Amino acid sequence: MTPDELRARTKSFALRVVKLYRSLPRSADAQVMGKQLLRCGTSVAANYRASCRARSRAEFAARIGTVAEEADESGFWLEMLEEAEIVRMALLKPLLQESKELTAIFTATQQSTRKRS
Domain segments of the chain as ranges? 3-116
Average pLDDT over residues 12-31: 98
Residue 117 binned pLDDT confidence (cut-offs 50, 70, 90): low
Whether the CB-CB separation of 74 and 38 falls below 8 Å is answered with: no
Residue 116 binned pLDDT confidence (cut-offs 50, 70, 90): confident
Residue 102 binned pLDDT confidence (cut-offs 50, 70, 90): very high
CATH 2.40.10.220 fits 3-116, yes or no: no
pTM summary value: 0.94
Q: pLDDT tens digits for 61-73?
A: 999 999 999 999 9
Average pLDDT over residues 38-58: 96
The span from the CA of 114 to the CA of 46, in Å, is: 21
The span from the CA of 108 to the CA of 113, in Å, is: 8
Residue 61's nearest CA partner among 5, 3, 117, 22 is: 117
Q: How many helices and strands, by DSSP H and E, does the chain display?
A: 4, 0
pLDDT at 1: 87
